[in-house]
């Protein structure tokens, strides 16, 4: 009985050995033994490939975001400069309106040469001093009236004859 058992066992081993030999021999045995570790290695490689793909996508998207941020910054700078320009124009417009209101207060119907309101302060002060006679104190040779003009012409003719 023991011999039958050995014969059957021998045939089973030969059959298993021939099946293993037909399926790839020693490599099939290594595959069967290492299939869990091979599966783990394959999963790790797949994860690495996915990770690299995600990193490349992240870098690409980050570059696009940086470009868009620069464009937004440029647009904000342009917006602020246009707002400042608009505020300057509003201020200038208001100043001109104020000057127009001031000018409307001092409307004079007299001709230009007779109206003191149209003259600036420096000229107005000189004319007021001239009318008061204060100007001739500092400038005795000043020509103020038509007589002074004729006298100065007479003085020039006398000097030319001499």
In sequence order, which ranges of 24-145 are alpha helices (DSSP H)? Answer: 26-105, 121-132, 135-138
Question: Could you give the CA distance from residue 111 to residue 88 in angstroms, rounded to a whole number?
Answer: 36
- In this predicted model, what pLDDT tens digit does every residue of 97-155 receive, in sequence order? 999 888 777 666 666 556 655 555 555 555 566 665 555 565 666 666 677 667 765 55
């Amino acid at each position: 009985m023991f011999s039958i058992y050995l014969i059957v066992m021998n045939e089973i081993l030969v059959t298993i050995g021939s099946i293993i030999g037909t399926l790839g021999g020693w490599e099939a045995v290594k595959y069967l033994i290492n299939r869990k570790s091979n599966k783990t290695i394959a999963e790790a490689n797949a994860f690495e490939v996915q990770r690299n793909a995600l990193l490349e996508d992240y870098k690409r998207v980050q570059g696009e975001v940086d470009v868009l941020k620069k464009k937004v910054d440029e647009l904000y700078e342009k917006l602020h400069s246009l707002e400042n320009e608009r505020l300057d124009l509003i201020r200038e417009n208001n100043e001109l309106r104020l000057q127009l209101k001031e000018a409307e207060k001092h409307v004079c119907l007299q001709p230009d040469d007779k109206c003191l309101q149209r003259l600036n302060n420096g000229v107005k002060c000189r004319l007021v001093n001239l009318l008061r006679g204060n100007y001739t104190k500092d400038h005795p040779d000043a020509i103020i009236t038509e007589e002074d003009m004729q006298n100065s012409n007479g003085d020039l003719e006398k000097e030319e004859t001499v």
